Structure 1
Amino acid sequence: MTLSVSAGRPVDLRVTPVDEVLDRVERSLQVCLDRETVVRKRRSLGANTDRDTWVRIERRALEKISTQGWNGTECAARLVGIGKPSWCAGVAWRDESGTAMWRADETSRLPGAPVGTSVLAIDPNLPEAWWLALNASLDALAIQRTTRVATPDTETITQAGVTEAIQAVFPGTFDTTITQWVPAHADLNWANMTSPKFCLFDWEDWGNAPRGLDSASLWGSSLAVPVLADRVRRERLHDLESRDGKLMTLFVCSKFAGPDAHPEDPRVGPARYEAARIVEELQAS
């Protein structure tokens, strides 16, 4: 199956015709997709099915697929104590162009709508039970065991990559060595969780990562709403105030608060303020 795009041009599934892809998934999983509910993102699609399930379809370039594979959603089925969809079935194939792979995973339906977009602009006013479920799920995830390595933004996370990202934006005379690597979702943001009932979905990139990556990522996604960022910080303080958690906060901030930051991004000021505090503390320790 080949998409109608020019050679070398990035494929954006929000605008590229995908009927052939949807047809193939229906044949492979023996399911009918509700075309009225199709959600299109840059590199993934999703839709309800006629058997009250959800199918997520992703296209990923071959160079973005590591030796561990990219069956994260399937592998996450063995995780316990976490609010997440149940995995039902999956299928994968190589694009006829030879440059990418496709994968479709069928899971149980989500119990509600996503909290919002990846970065929020208003406080979602989540119930207390939601925060309890978030904490229970992240704490349960961190004590489990896996050989997988997290791939945030489809890039395998490494010590060298963490050091390079931090020092490029927040240089200083402090050690960036990570001491604790624990299982993480690796794409924790407000678009990948439901409310009012908590459910964490899109597990394709999960694996071992520095302690605090998920907490720092959610905090960074909340900075445009100070009251929400403060709540995330209070709830995940044991992660964020650990040494590795501080390094992960710098790592997350480096992604959007560097020298080329967008001047109108409301996250930049708070991120730089927090980063300066952390750098000072790390240099003094």
Structure 2
Amino acid sequence: MKLSVSRGRAVDLRVQPVDEVLDRVQRSLGVRLLPNTMVRKRRSVGARTDRHTWVRVERRVLDKIPDQGWNGTESAACLQGVAQPEWLGCVVWRDTDEPAMWRADETELLPGAPVGNAILGEAPELADPWWEALNASLDALAAQQTGRVATPDTVTVTQDLVTDSIRGVFSDDVDTTVERWVPAHADLNWANMTAPTFSLFDWEDWGNAPQGLDSASLWASSLAVPALADRVRHERRSDFESRDGKVMTLFACAKILGPHAHPEDPRLEPARAMAEQVIKELQTS
């Protein structure tokens, strides 16, 4: 595939031509992508197919592909007890003009629409069985074992990353040591879950992470709706009450309050208040 951009320039698939890429995907997977269903994002394009499946195509630069490889959706197919679309196949190739790789994964269709955007501005209508399914999937995920390491926002999560992120915004007096690492989705937000039937998708970055990363991420994406944020904390209270869960809450707050904070972000004040509370709890524990 050849894009009309110079080597090293950031590529935005919302505006860059991708016809040749999609033609290659269709030939390789033996499907026809339905144009009127296409969803274009900055580094991915997705569409329904003529055999009632979904294909997601992603471009990733080489230095964002970790040593463990770039097969999160494929490897997540082995997870037991987690509600997710069934993975069916893929095609992967290297870009001939840019230091990047292309990957297309085919999965079954989602059982419902995404709950909303990554950050919600109003509360969704979610029945108790939905929350029960969320808890069952996250608990089942955390109970399994993997050699993968989570890459939230395509950055490998490490103890140093956690420490640097928190201390770059808050006090150096906080002990940020992570005690327990468990498998996590690593991109848990309202855009990656469906309703009214619960299903969790977009598994590109899953792997071992500090306990509570997923719960803290979902809470952070809910902060503009206080009742929803409270519901997340209630449902995932075992995570939030753990020491690692408190560290991950502070990690999530650091992302909101850090140098790229938007002054009109409605999550700023609740994140700041929670950070102060969690710091006190960590300092006295």
Shorter-chain TM-score tier: over 0.9
Within 2, Cα distance between the matches of 1:179 and 1:162?
Answer: 12
Within 2, Cα distance between the matches of 1:100 and 1:225?
Answer: 38
Within 2, Cα distance between the matches of 1:259 and 1:5?
Answer: 30
The DSSP-based 3-state class of the residue aligned with 2:92 is strand
- 1:7 matches 2:10: no
The DSSP-based 3-state class of the residue aligned with 2:173 is coil
Aligned counterpart, 2:75:
75
Aligned counterpart, 1:273:
273
The DSSP-based 3-state class of the residue aligned with 2:256 is coil
Aligned counterpart, 1:189:
189
Within 2, Cα distance between the matches of 1:77 and 1:259?
Answer: 37
Aligned counterpart, 1:175:
175
- Structure 1 residue 8: Cα displacement: 2.9
Within 1, Cα distance between the matches of 2:73 and 2:260?
Answer: 34
Alpha carbons 1:172, 1:283 under 8 Å: kept: no
Superposed structure 1 runs of 4+ greater than 6 Å apart: none
Alpha carbons 1:58, 1:103 under 8 Å: kept: yes
Aligned counterpart, 1:105:
105
- Structure 1 residue 263: Cα displacement: 1.3
| Structure 1 unaligned blocks of 5 or more | none
2:264 aligned partner, one-letter code? E
2:7 aligned partner, one-letter code? A
Task: State the TM-score, normalized to the length of structure 1.
Answer: 0.98
Alpha carbons 2:2, 2:97 under 8 Å: kept: yes
- Structure 1 residue 260: Cα displacement: 4.7
Within 2, Cα distance between the matches of 1:19 and 1:145?
Answer: 39
* Equivalent pairs, count: 285
Equivalent runs, 1:119-134 vs 2, <5 Å: 119-134=119-134
Aligned counterpart, 2:233:
233
Q: Identity of aligned pairs, percent? A: 68
Alpha carbons 2:184, 2:209 under 8 Å: kept: yes
**What's the RMSD between the two structures over aligned residues?**
0.9
| Structure 2 unaligned blocks of 5 or more | none
Which stretch shows the higher mean deviation, 45-54 or 260-269?
260-269
Within 2, Cα distance between the matches of 1:283 and 1:84?
Answer: 38
2:124 aligned partner, one-letter code? P
Within 2, Cα distance between the matches of 1:20 and 1:262?
Answer: 37
Within 2, Cα distance between the matches of 1:130 and 1:2?
Answer: 43
The DSSP-based 3-state class of the residue aligned with 2:74 is helix
Task: State the TM-score, normalized to the length of structure 2.
Answer: 0.98
- Structure 1 residue 259: Cα displacement: 5.1
Equivalent runs, 1:83-98 vs 2, <5 Å: 83-98=83-98
- Structure 1 residue 170: Cα displacement: 1.1
Aligned counterpart, 2:143:
143
Within 2, Cα distance between the matches of 1:217 and 1:267?
Answer: 13
- Structure 1 residue 5: Cα displacement: 1.8
